[in-house]
Amino acid sequence: MRPVIVVHGGAGRIFKEREEGCRAGVVRAALQGYGVLKQGGSALDAVEEAVRSMEDDPHFNAGCGSVLNEEGEVEMDAIIMDGKNLASGAVSAVKCIANPIKLARLVMEKTKHMLLTDHGAQLFAQAMGVPEIPGEKLITERSRERWKKNLEPDSNPVEFQKDLGTVGAVAVDSEGNVACATSTGGLSNKLVGRVGDTACIGSGGYADNSSGATSTTGHGESIMKVVLARLILYHMEQGMSPEMAADTALEYMKTRVGGLGGVIVVSSSGEWAASLMDFSRCCVMGFLWGQMSECRH
């Protein structure tokens, strides 16, 4: 089996002054994830490494660079899933953690649970020896300015959501195992404790060796209503290609609940697709057979 990894940096508008940095960050993440696969590593390790890279990149709405909630704090969600045995781990509303995706994997491997949130996730991180960092270190000037603008009486929070960059990765390794990972800071000026689709299995991501893996981005509440990630794999199980399954599921979400989003998908045989519904731009990088392929809308 020839390994494949596909990485996305979120759906939405990319302002021109940020385009180069966003593209470089996605390329870097895909290269690092593919490096794991080239050395015989697992799909699970590859997607974790790719997402960790983007969590460390302030261009994206994940880890350092996450948007702020209504109180001006960073609260982050992440999920990781292994298609071999359907094992999954997730965290939600976590603070003061540089890499939520690493904590999500620890939830999967070191507990009997699938999702830990807020204070409980913080206590678990301490028990696992995960370093805690000051929340200020996760806040960029761009995120702070966005938060301040959204507090103004005449602000338009919806407009300021259009260039958010939830991150994700899907992969299939040389053993034919698939995996997915997704991480986000959520919506700017969200209510304290708001959790979107990212941490919800079947919504923010899903992986199953019998069909494939997918990672989603877009309007979280809409994605949760249709369980978008699992819906895509259901369509693939009915015989659709990854591209057709993604397009069909996104169209259903738009028609049924008026939601917009984007997805990346890889099948268990290595076929991949990236689909975007009515967003102006995104950047997706896929590595197949050692060759880089770019999908930009």
Q: CA dihedral in degrees (215, 138, 92, 196; nearest 10)? A: -60
Instruction: Say if residue 258 carries a ligand binding annotation.
Output: no
Query: Catalytic site residue 166?
Result: yes
Instruction: Say if residue 195 carries a ligand binding annotation.
Output: yes
Query: Catalytic one among 117, 140, 166, 184?
Result: 166
User: Positive or negative CA dihedral for 5, 183, 187, 22?
Assistant: negative
Instruction: Say if residue 129 carries a ligand binding annotation.
Output: no
Nearest Cα to Cα of residue 117 among 96, 99, 91, 136: 91
Which tokens belong to 128?
A: 């696992």
User: How many C-beta atoms lie closer than 10 Å to residue 192's C-beta?
Assistant: 11
Instruction: Say if residue 217 carries a ligand binding annotation.
Output: yes
Give the long-range contacts of residues 121-129, CB within 8 A, separation 24 or more. Answer: 121/91, 121/92, 121/93, 121/94, 122/94, 122/95, 122/96, 122/97, 125/94, 125/97, 128/103
In angstroms, the Cα distances linking 201 to 204, 223, 228 are 6, 11, 10
- Is residue 136 a contact partner of residue 173, using CB atoms and an 8 Å limit? no
Instruction: Say if residue 204 carries a ligand binding annotation.
Output: no
Bind-site residues: 194-197, 217-220
Catalytic residues: 166
